[in-house]
């Protein structure tokens, strides 16, 4: 049985699990459309036709089952209306006036969860039909947080774990707690979207002049330069807390607002509320305050559930865990022996999660996810043709393309790498990467100018695993994260001195460590042979506000626009003279 997973929301895309339980393809629609965070819900961008087509083309056998990464309309309606009615019963009767604001009758307002979900189902059904998959491939529904949790745990290779998901919202939830036990996963707690820590962090992001669902990482980065604002901290403590009896997160961000049942949301009201609280405070202090608060609440939440279950292995997924400083805080908890952050913790992982959960429901465990280069790959000829059309000269170097890149880095150049399959998830891990010297303290300014990026975000290091103990505070709990850039760790004194370009304001970095059998190690080997350096900058191959490059022509055009003159394409090197 092979399963095709499809998701139509923010980070729409598709994934395929083969009949042997191996994930063989996964990609977001944005890689093809070139629309950042491509959202395929009705009224947004086009449905995820191209990501589905890619996965089907990669399948060695016919697809026998389809998994939609969303709850069935009737199930969602029951849950969403129960939440809405509970809010009204608790005194939030002003929510009933939302029908008039939306131009709906009361019955239409109550039908909102089901009617909007049916439109999403219709969209995905049209994608399935357009791909030539008929009734012989039955459809399974996997709700948003079941997909987050299942994809993270079932592909982790771990036997037992506490599985926690936190994000903005999805299918009326903003989070969940589950127990993973030898291939089965049982949900023990649901956090309604009313209590969303993701929405809280997003509201602070917007109130600080940044963009929602786009710039939360910048807010996290700014936090390193600020101090706690006690007034804002007090306000946060009044709005969110951990229920010591149930272990649930309780939030009051929407208290008193006129807001309908899921999926209705009033981010403008949340943002205005936070702007009023921020007042004239320094933005870096605001960032530091909400970051510190998020870390504390989530740490207390996780600790409560670890103690309740007796588990010491933690698996996390959902957009909140894109926050690498939060992940570092969780790794420091004495109750955690191992932390696994799903590499596509954002909604980019929903399609795969849906496919994996559906596959496992048939009684066979999926294989752990090891290789993340499961996106589109292209032949050397396709790559050479694309780069030559952009004015590059393509050659096959005798000593190897990686050696050429190492030599260019030794000369202080910025280079790029376009090899193998595109990476699954938001991090460039060497297949779709821009690489630069880490010893030059001016390199972040140079890269930001070349790539037209903001100066806020720090750059991440790539290094060999065998050098890690000399470079970073190696935390065994984070063994998985060191390979997928999903957690920040303190840098050693030597790293801060020798490689200032990858050290953040708080002395941490978000490293990617390479094993000796990975081809990219040859780049660092050559750099070390020439200069003694063994750390380089690794950032995603894209210009500002664009998705990571996918097709060869995307890579060629981006490299030319950025002024990158040396690009590895497979075993070849493209040079722009």
Which pLDDT score is estimated for 312?
98
> Please, which pLDDT band fits residue 213 given cuts at 50, 70 and 90?
confident
Of the candidates 230, 225, 166, the one whose C-alpha atom is nearest the C-alpha of residue 200 is 166
**Alpha helices per DSSP H over 46-72:** 49-58
Query: Helix (H, G, I), strand (E, B), or coil: what is residue 13?
Result: strand
Model confidence over 266-322: pLDDT tens digits?
999 999 999 999 999 999 999 999 999 999 999 999 999 999 999 999 999 999 999
CATH fold of the domain at 380-575: DHBP synthase (3.90.870)
- Say yes or no to pLDDT of 452 above 90: yes
What is the structure's pLDDT at 577? 79
Q: What local confidence, expressed as pLDDT, does residue 454 receive?
A: 80
Spatial neighbors of 268 by CB under 8 A, at least 6 apart, are none
Q: Are 498 and 439 in contact (CB under 8 A)?
A: yes
- 120-169 pLDDT, tens digit per residue, is 999 999 999 999 997 778 999 999 999 999 999 999 999 999 999 999 99
What is the spatial distance between Cα 48 and Cα 130, in angstroms, rounded to a whole number?
11
| Tokens at 64, concatenated | 């026998």
What's the rounded Cα separation, in Å, for the pair 444 and 438? 9
Domain residue spans in the chain? 1-155+342-370, 156-339, 380-575
**Residue 537's beta-bridge partner residues?**
436, 461
Q: What is the pLDDT of residue 354?
A: 98
Q: What are the structure tokens assigned to 116, written together?
A: 């909007």
- pTM: predicted TM-score of the whole model, two decimal places: 0.97
Do you find a cis peptide bond into 263, omega within 30 degrees of 0?
yes
Segment 29-41 mean pLDDT: 97
pLDDT number for residue 172: 97
Mean pLDDT of the chain: 96
- Residues 345 and 316: beta-carbon distance below 8 Å: yes
Q: β-strand 3-7 against 65-68: which pairing, if any?
A: parallel
List Cβ neighbours of 387 (8 Å cut-off, separation of 6 or more): 394, 552, 555, 556, 559, 567, 569, 574
Mean pLDDT, to the nearest integer, of 369-381? 96
Q: Which two tokens stand for residue 199?
A: 């929405």
Q: Could you tell me which residues are beta bridge partners of residue 189?
A: 177
Q: How sure is the predictor about 106, in pLDDT bands with cuts at 50, 70 and 90?
A: very high
Q: What is the pLDDT of residue 135?
A: 72
Place of tokens 């901290």: 233
- What is the predicted pLDDT for the residue at 455? 77
Averaged pLDDT for residues 478-503: 95
| The domains spanning 156-339 and 380-575 adopt the same CATH topology | no
Distance CA 563, CA 349 (A): 33
Q: Under CATH, what is the fold of the domain 1-155+342-370?
A: Nucleotidyltransferase; domain 5 (3.30.420)
Choose the CATH number for 156-339 among 3.30.70.1150, 3.30.1240.10, 3.30.300.30, 3.30.420.40: 3.30.420.40
């Amino acid at each position: 049985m092979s399963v095709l997973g499809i998701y139509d929301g923010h980070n729409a895309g598709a994934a395929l699990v083969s009949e042997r339980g191996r994930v063989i393809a996964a990609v977001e629609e944005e890689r093809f459309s070139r629309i950042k965070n491509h959202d395929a819900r009705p009224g947004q961008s086009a449905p995820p036709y191209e990501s589905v087509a890619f996965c089907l083309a990669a399948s060695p056998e016919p697809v026998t089952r389809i998994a939609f990464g969303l709850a069935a309309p009737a199930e969602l309606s029951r849950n969403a209306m129960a939440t809405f009615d509970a809010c009204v019963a608790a005194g939030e009767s002003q929510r009933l006036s939302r029908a008039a604001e939306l131009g709906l009758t009361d019955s239409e307002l109550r039908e909102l969860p089901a009617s909007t979900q049916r439109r999403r189902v219709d969209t995905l059904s049209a994608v399935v039909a357009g791909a030539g998959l008929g009734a012989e491939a039955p459809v399974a529904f996997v709700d948003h947080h079941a997909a987050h949790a299942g994809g993270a745990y079932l592909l982790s290779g771990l036997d037992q774990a506490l599985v926690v998901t936190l994000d903005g919202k999805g299918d009326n939830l903003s989070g969940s707690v589950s127990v993973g036990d030898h291939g089965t996963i049982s949900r023990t707690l649901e956090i309604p979207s009313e209590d969303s820590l993701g929405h809280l962090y997003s509201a602070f992001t917007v109130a600080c002049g940044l963009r929602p669902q786009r710039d939360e990482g910048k807010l996290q980065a700014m936090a390193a330069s600020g101090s706690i604002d006690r007034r804002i901290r007090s306000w946060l403590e009044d709005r969110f807390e951990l229920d010591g009896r149930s272990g649930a997160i309780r939030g009051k961000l929407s208290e008193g607002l006129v807001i309908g049942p899921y999926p209705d949301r009033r981010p403008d009201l949340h943002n205005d509320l936070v702007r009023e609280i921020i007042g004239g405070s320094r933005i870096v202090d605001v960032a530091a305050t909400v970051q510190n608060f998020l870390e504390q609440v989530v740490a207390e939440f996780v600790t409560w559930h670890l103690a309740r279950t007796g588990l010491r292995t933690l698996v996390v997924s959902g957009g909140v865990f894109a926050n690498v400083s939060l992940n570092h805080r969780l790794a420091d908890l004495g109750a955690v022996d191992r932390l696994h952050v799903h590499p596509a913790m954002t909604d980019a992982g929903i399609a795969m999660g849906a496919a994996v959960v559906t596959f496992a429901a048939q009684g066979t465990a999926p294989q752990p996810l090891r290789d993340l280069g499961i996106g589109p790959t292209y032949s050397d000829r396709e790559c050479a043709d694309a780069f030559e059309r952009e004015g590059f000269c393509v050659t096959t170097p005798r000593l190897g393309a990686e050696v050429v890149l190492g030599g260019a880095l030794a000369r202080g150049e910025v280079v790029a790498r376009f090899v193998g399959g595109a990476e699954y998830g938001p991090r460039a891990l060497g297949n779709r990467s821009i690489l630069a010297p880490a010893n030059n303290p001016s390199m972040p300014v140079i890269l930001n100018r070349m790539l037209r990026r903001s100066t806020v975000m720090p750059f991440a290091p790539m290094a060999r695993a065998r050098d890690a103990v000399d470079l970073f505070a190696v935390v065994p709990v984070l063994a998985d994260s060191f390979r997928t850039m999903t957690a920040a760790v303190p840098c050693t004194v030597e790293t801060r001195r020798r490689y200032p370009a990858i050290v953040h304001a708080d002395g941490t970095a978000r490293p990617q460590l390479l094993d000796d059998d990975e081809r990219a190690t040859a780049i660092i080997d050559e750099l070390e042979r020439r200069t003694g350096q063994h750390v380089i900058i690794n950032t995603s191959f894209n210009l500002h506000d664009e998705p990571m490059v996918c097709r060869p022509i995307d890579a060629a055009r981006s490299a030319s626009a950025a002024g990158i003159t040396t690009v590895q394409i497979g075993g070849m090197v493209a040079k722009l003279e």
